[in-house]
Amino acid sequence: MADRDPAEGRIEVWKTYKLYIGGAFPRTESGRTYLVAAADGTPLANACRASRKDVRDAVRAARSASGGWAGRTAMNRGQILYRVAELMEGRRAQFVEDVAQAEGLSAGTARAAVDRAIDRWVWYAGWADKIAQVLGSSNPVAGPYFNFTIPEPTGVVGIVAPETSSLLGLVSRLAPVLVGGSVAVVATSETRPLPAITLAEVLATSDVPGGVVNILTGLKAELAPAMAAHDDIDAIDAWGVPEALRREVELAAAENVKRVARRPKGVLDARFDWLDDRAAERPEWIAAFLEMKTVWHPIGV
Amino acid sequence: MTSDGKAIRPWSGPKGPAGWGLGDGQAIPWEYAPAPESRDIAKVRPQYGLFIGGRDVPASDGATFTTVDPSTEQPLALVARATTDDADRAVRAARRAQSRTWGRLHPRERAKYLFRIARILQERSREFAVLESIDSGKPIKESRDVDVPLAAAHFWYYAGWADKLAYAFPGRNARPLGVVAQIIPWNFPLLMLAWKIAPALAAGNTVVLKPASTTPLTALLFAEVCRQARLPGGVVNIVTGPGEIGMHLVTHPDVDKVAFTGSTSVGKLIQKGIAGTDKALTLELGGKAANIVFEDAALDQAVEGVINGIYFNQGEVCCAGSRLLVQESIAGPFIEKLKARLLTIRVGDPLDKNTDVGAINSRAQLDKITELVAAGTAEGAELYQPPCDLPDRGFFFRPTLFTNVALSHRIAREEIFGPVLAVLTFRTPDEAIEKANNTEYGLSAGVWTEKGSRILAMVSRLKAGVVWANTFNKFDPTSPFGGYKESGFGREGGMHGLHAYVSLEDR
C-alpha cells in the first residue's frame, strides 16, 4: 500500500494476498484479514487470517497430494525442487523487494537472503536421490535373512514457519520436508507473511503438484494449535511456534502421536543465522520427517 | 513333578475337528511326556531391593510388592516398591555417574564393559531363561531361544558401537544426551531392558530403568550382572514399582531423555508429560499387524508363519500378526489348515520344554483378553478354539481364532495382546493394502507370496515400520525396529537405534 507519487503518472495495481491451498489461491473461508505492515510500520497488505477450517481444507489437499508426491522417483523430486530454484532466480528482484520490505533489510542484505534461499533449494534438491543411501542400511542379521532398512516419507507435515526469516527460514524448513517425499501445510511467519505468498506463486507455476505445499497466513496462536490437533497431520515442524504456545502445541500433538521437530535446545528463532550453511543445511532435518522401514526376507533356494 | 512339587499335566490329546480324518471328537493319538526345565537354577530370592548407585537398597519407606508366577498364581518374591524419593535418588546417581565416570570414560573402555555384560548374560543364560519364564509366564523354549540370546546379542552389538560413533554419524559429533529414563513392558522383560540399556550406555548415557511391575525379577538379576561386570555405580539404576514411578521419572527435571515401550494410551500420556520441555523421546507402542497371505503363497510355510505371528509369546507381542488377511480364493482351505495346526499347539506349564503357549502375564491381562474375545462373539464373529485342557491354576487362555470378522469389530481394531487371531479376507492387492493400513497403528506387517515383485510392491505400500515377507516375528540387534503412526517414533536396533541416544553436534 506504499503509494508512489501520483506525479509519476501511473497508479500501481496492488495485489490481493490470498492463501495457497491445493494449487489454488482461495481467500480464507472466514473472510477475516489482518493488516500486515513493513518493518518500518508502513502498511503493506490485508493478509488472510486463515481459520481452523482453512487448516482442514489445506490438510485435505495435502493428504490427496501425498501419495503421488511420495510415489515420484527420487530423481524426479530432485528435479522438481531444482525447478523451484530456477523459477525463484527469475523472480529474484521481486523476492528481494518483498524480503527487504518485510524484514526491514537493506537491498544488499535482502539479496543475500534471497540468493541463499535459492541455493538452499538446490542443496536439498541434490539430496533427493542420496538420502536413502546415507540413512538406509543393509543389516547383517544372525540368520539366513536378507534384511534392509529404507527411509519413507512421514506423510503430511504441519510447518510452523520461522517468524523472523520470512523467506530463507521458510525455505530452509520446507525444502527438507519436500525432498524426503512428505507434503506440507505451512503457517507462515505471522508478522512477515508476504514473501511466503510470493513463494506460493512460484510454486504454483513450478512443477510442484498442487496440494504438495499449502500455505496459510494468519495468527500462529490460531493456526499452530489447530495443526497440532489435526488427526490427519503426521508431524509438526515446531521451529516457529512461539515459546508461549509450545506446551499447548505439544500436548495437542500427542493425541495422535505426532512427530514433533523442535527448534534445538538453546536456539532462538530471532537469533538463528540462516545464512550459516553448516547450521542451516542439515540432512538431519530431512530425517526428522522420514520413517524407517525394515524389511525381512528369508534366504533359501 | 517339577522341583516345587507342582504336577506337570500331561498334554491331553485335543479333539480333532470334523473332516480331518481324525474322527469327530477323537483325541489325536499321541501325547507328549513332560519335559520340565529345572526351576532351581533361577535361585529366586525371597526379597529384592532397588538398584541405585550400584547398591541393592530397600525402598525409602520399606514398602514392597509381590510378584507372582502367573502359571501358578503363587507369590514368587517380595520386591521393593520405590517411592518418588527413591526415583529422585536414582536420577541423582545416574547424573553423578554420567558426569563423573561413564561420560568421561574412554569409549573403548565403555565398550569393554558392555562386552563383559554380553558375556555374563551368555554365561548365565539358563538362569535368566528360567527366571524369565517363572516371572512372566512365557514358555521356556522362547525365553531360552529368543529372549535371553537376543538380549545378550544386543549388548554385544552395541558394545562395538561405543568407540565407533563417529562412523555412525559422519560429519557430526555424537554426544550423549545425559540421563535417560526408560520404562519397559512385561512381555519381553529382559529383552526390552537390553534394547533400552545397551544403546544408551554405548552412546555414553546413564540410565534409570523401571521394569513392569509384574515382571521385575530378570531386571533385578541384571543388576547383579552389572555388579559382577564391575560396571561403575550409578551407570545403571533400576527402580521397581507402580506406573506412577515411571511417570515421576518422565517428568523429572533432571532427566534428558525418555524411552518407553508399552501401550499407545500410556505412550500418549508420556508424550504429554514431556510437552514443552527439551527432553528427547522415543516411543515403541502398540500394534495391530496384518499378516497378508496371497493365494500363491507357500501355504504350509504361511500357516507356520501365521501361527508363530499370533501365538508366539501368548500373542503378548506389540508386533503380533493379530489380523490375518487371507486371499478369498484360498480362505476356506487355509483356515482349515490353521485350525488343524492349532490342535497341535501345547498350552501349559511355561517351564515345560514342549510348551508352545504359556501363561498370560497377569490376571488383569487375562481379563482384558477374555473381555475382548467376548466382544468378538457378541459382535458376530465366529469363534474357534482347540479343545485342549488348560491347567487348573494360573492365567491361561486357549489359542483363539475368529472368522467372519469385519474390519469394524473391536477384535479387528483394538490391540488384544493375547493369543487371538482375527481372520479377514481380501480379493485384490489394493483391498489388502486398504484393509492392512486401516488402523491407527503401524508397527509391523507380514506378506506371504511366492512372487517377488508383489512382495516389494506390498512392502512399499504398507504403512508399517517392520515388514516380514515370507517370515514373521524375527528380531535381531542389527535390525531397526519401531513404528509408523500411533505405534510410536524412533527406532531400536541397528545404527538407527543409536540415533535415539545421541545429540548430533557440529564438528
What is the side-by-side strand order in the sheet with B74-80? B47-48, B74-80, B64-69
Closest residue to A291, CB basis, from B275, B440, B465: B465
Residue B271 has pLDDT above 50, yes or no: yes
State the sign of the Cα–Cα–Cα–Cα dihedral A15, A19, A21, A26: negative
Q: Is residue A251 part of a domain?
A: yes
Mean pLDDT, range B240-251, rounded to an integer: 98
Contact A141 B476 (CB under 8 A): yes
Quick one: how far is CA B262 from the chain centroid?
Answer: 9
C-alpha count within 13 angstroms, C-beta hemisphere, residue B259: 31
Q: What is the ipTM of this complex?
A: 0.95
Q: Taking Cα atoms as reference points, which of A185, A196, A149, A188 lies closest to residue B480?
A: A149
Q: What element of type H or E holds B50?
A: strand B50-52
Residue B98: DSSP 8-state: I
Residue A22 has phi, psi (to 5 degrees) of: 60, 30
B285 touches chain A (CB under 8 A): yes
Spell out which residues of chain B touch residue A296, defining contact as CB-CB under 8 Å. Answer: 466-469, 471, 474, 479
Residues of B with catalytic function: 284, 318
C-alpha B329/C-alpha B293 separation (Å) is 11
C-alpha count within 13 angstroms, C-beta hemisphere, residue B263: 12
Residue B29 has pLDDT above 70, yes or no: no
Q: pLDDT per residue over B176-185, tens digit each? A: 999 999 999 9
Q: pLDDT per residue over B435-485, tens digit each? A: 999 999 999 999 999 999 999 999 999 999 999 999 999 999 999 999 999
Which residues share a beta bridge with A236? A158, A260
B464 touches chain A (CB under 8 A): yes
C-alpha A161/C-alpha A224 separation (Å) is 10
B459 touches chain A (CB under 8 A): yes
Q: Taking Cα atoms as reference points, which of B310, B248, B296, B243 lies closest to residue B273?
A: B248
Q: Is residue A10 part of a domain?
A: no
Are residues B247 and B169 in contact, defined by beta-carbon separation less than 8 angstroms?
no
A255 touches chain B (CB under 8 A): yes
Q: Is residue A8 part of a domain?
A: no
Mean pLDDT, range B126-134, rounded to an integer: 98
Nearest CA in chain A to B465: A293
A297 touches chain B (CB under 8 A): yes
Which residues share a beta bridge with B402? B383, B422
pLDDT for A5 equals 62
Q: pLDDT per residue over B473-505, tens digit each? A: 999 999 999 999 999 999 999 999 999 999 999
C-alpha count within 13 angstroms, C-beta hemisphere, residue A192: 26
Mean pLDDT, range B284-292, rounded to an integer: 98
Nearest-10 Cα torsion for B195, B198, B202, B205: 90
Q: Is residue A1 part of a domain?
A: no
C-alpha B259/C-alpha B158 separation (Å) is 17
pLDDT for B22 equals 47
- Reported confidence tier of residue A2, pLDDT bands at 50, 70, 90: low
Which percentage of chain B shows pLDDT scores above 70? 94
Residue A114 has phi, psi (to 5 degrees) of: -65, -45
3-state SS, residue A252: helix
CATH topology of domain B40-285+485-506: Aldehyde Dehydrogenase; Chain A, domain 1 (3.40.605)
Q: pLDDT per residue over B418-436, tens digit each? A: 999 999 999 999 999 999 9
Contact B479 A294 (CB under 8 A): yes
Mean pLDDT, range A93-114, rounded to an integer: 97
What angle do the packed helices A243-253 and A220-229 form, to 10 degrees? 20
pLDDT for B27 equals 52
B151 touches chain A (CB under 8 A): no
Residue B38: DSSP 8-state: P
pLDDT for B437 equals 98
Closest residue to A254, CB basis, from B268, B440, B470: B268
When scoring B271, B486, B495 by the number of chain A Cβ atoms within 10 A, the one with the most, hence best to mutate, is B271
Q: Which three cell numbers stand for residue B247?
A: 511417570
* The domains spanning B40-285+485-506 and B290-469 adopt the same CATH topology: no
A234 touches chain B (CB under 8 A): yes
C-alpha B15/C-alpha B22 separation (Å) is 8
Q: Is residue A3 part of a domain?
A: no
Q: Taking Cα atoms as reference points, which of A22, A41, A270, A249 lies closest to residue A156?
A: A22
Residue A49 has pLDDT above 60, yes or no: yes
C-alpha B325/C-alpha B340 separation (Å) is 18
pLDDT for B26 equals 52
Q: What is the mean pLDDT of chain A?
A: 96
- Reported confidence tier of residue A301, pLDDT bands at 50, 70, 90: confident
Are residues B492 and B284 in contact, defined by beta-carbon separation less than 8 angstroms?
yes
Q: pLDDT per residue over B94-105, tens digit each? A: 999 999 999 999
Mean pLDDT, range B34-55, rounded to an integer: 96
C-alpha A225/C-alpha A233 separation (Å) is 12
pLDDT for B15 equals 46
Q: pLDDT per residue over A229-265, tens digit each? A: 999 999 999 999 999 999 999 999 999 999 999 999 8
Residue A73 has phi, psi (to 5 degrees) of: -70, 155
Contact A294 B285 (CB under 8 A): no
To the nearest whole angstrom, how far is the Cα of A157 from the nearest Cα of chain B?
Answer: 13
Q: Is residue A5 part of a domain?
A: no
Q: pLDDT per residue over B326-354, tens digit each? A: 999 999 999 999 999 999 999 999 999 99
C-alpha B162/C-alpha B106 separation (Å) is 9
Which residues share a beta bridge with A87? none
Closest residue to B471, CB basis, from A142, A256, A296: A296
C-alpha B425/C-alpha B42 separation (Å) is 45
Residue B184 has phi, psi (to 5 degrees) of: -125, 160
Contact B276 A292 (CB under 8 A): no
Q: pLDDT per residue over A146-173, tens digit each? A: 999 999 999 999 999 999 999 999 999 9
**With 0-12 CB in 10 A as exposed, 13-18 as middle and 19+ as buried, what is B380?**
exposed
Q: Count chain A–chain B contacts defined by CB atoms under 8 A.
A: 108
When scoring B479, B492, B504, B507 by the number of chain A Cβ atoms within 10 A, the one with the most, hence best to mutate, is B479
Least confident of B18-22, B127-131, B191-195, B430-434: B18-22
When scoring A135, A284, A293, A301 by the number of chain B Cβ atoms within 10 A, the one with the most, hence best to mutate, is A293
Which residues share a beta bridge with B204? none
C-alpha B22/C-alpha B24 separation (Å) is 7
- B 421-440 residues inside an 8 A Cβ radius of A: 440
Contact A292 B480 (CB under 8 A): yes
- Reported confidence tier of residue A9, pLDDT bands at 50, 70, 90: confident
Residues whose CB is less than 8 angstroms from the CB of residue B253 and which lie 6 or more positions away in sequence, other chains included: none
When scoring A72, A262, A294, A301 by the number of chain B Cβ atoms within 10 A, the one with the most, hence best to mutate, is A294
3-state SS, residue A113: helix
Which percentage of chain A shows pLDDT scores above 90? 96
Structural domain boundaries enclosing A197: 19-270+277-298
To the nearest whole angstrom, how far is the Cα of A204 from the nearest Cα of chain B?
Answer: 28
- A 140-199 residues inside an 8 A Cβ radius of B: 140-143, 145, 147, 149, 152
What are the helix (H) ranges across B176-298? 189-202, 217-228, 243-250, 264-273
Q: Is residue A136 part of a domain?
A: yes
CATH code at A138? Answer: 3.40.605.10
C-alpha count within 13 angstroms, C-beta hemisphere, residue A18: 15
Contact B464 A293 (CB under 8 A): yes
Residue B7 has pLDDT above 90, yes or no: no
CATH topology of domain B290-469: Aldehyde Dehydrogenase; Chain A, domain 2 (3.40.309)
Which residues share a beta bridge with A124? none
Residue B3 has pLDDT above 50, yes or no: no
Closest residue to A142, CB basis, from B455, B476, B489: B476
Q: pLDDT per residue over B354-365, tens digit each? A: 999 999 999 999
pTM of the predicted model as reported, rounded to 2 decimal places: 0.94
Q: What element of type H or E holds A85?
A: helix A74-90
Q: What is the mean pLDDT of chain B?
A: 94
**With 0-12 CB in 10 A as exposed, 13-18 as middle and 19+ as buried, what is A276?**
exposed
Q: pLDDT per residue over A166-195, tens digit each? A: 999 999 999 999 999 999 999 999 999 999
Are residues B485 and B441 in contact, defined by beta-carbon separation less than 8 angstroms?
yes
B457 touches chain A (CB under 8 A): no
Cα-based angle A238, A243, A244 (whole degrees, multiple of 5) = 120
Between these two residues, A294 and A265, which has the higher pLDDT value?
A294
Q: Which three cell numbers stand for residue B466?
A: 517392520
pLDDT for B388 equals 87
Spell out which residues of chain A touch residue B467, defining contact as CB-CB under 8 Å. Answer: 293-296
A267 touches chain B (CB under 8 A): no
- Reported confidence tier of residue B31, pLDDT bands at 50, 70, 90: confident
C-alpha B500/C-alpha B492 separation (Å) is 8
When scoring B434, B476, B487 by the number of chain A Cβ atoms within 10 A, the one with the most, hence best to mutate, is B476
Q: Taking Cα atoms as reference points, which of A148, A181, A145 lies closest to residue A62?
A: A181
- Reported confidence tier of residue A3, pLDDT bands at 50, 70, 90: low
Q: Which of B170-191 are b and which e, b meaning 16 or more Cβ less than 10 Å from the residue's Cβ?
A: eebebebbbbbbbbbbbbbbbb
Are residues B396 and B405 in contact, defined by beta-carbon separation less than 8 angstroms?
no
Contact A292 B486 (CB under 8 A): no
C-alpha A260/C-alpha A257 separation (Å) is 9
Mean pLDDT, range A100-119, rounded to an integer: 97
Closest residue to A297, CB basis, from B272, B470, B489: B470
Number of domains comprising chain A? 1
pLDDT for B30 equals 66
Length of chain A: 301
pLDDT for A43 equals 95
Q: What element of type H or E holds A287?
A: helix A283-287
Q: pLDDT per residue over B159-168, tens digit each? A: 999 999 999 9
Spell out which residues of chain A touch residue B272, defining contact as CB-CB under 8 Å. Answer: 250-251, 254
- Reported confidence tier of residue B21, pLDDT bands at 50, 70, 90: very low
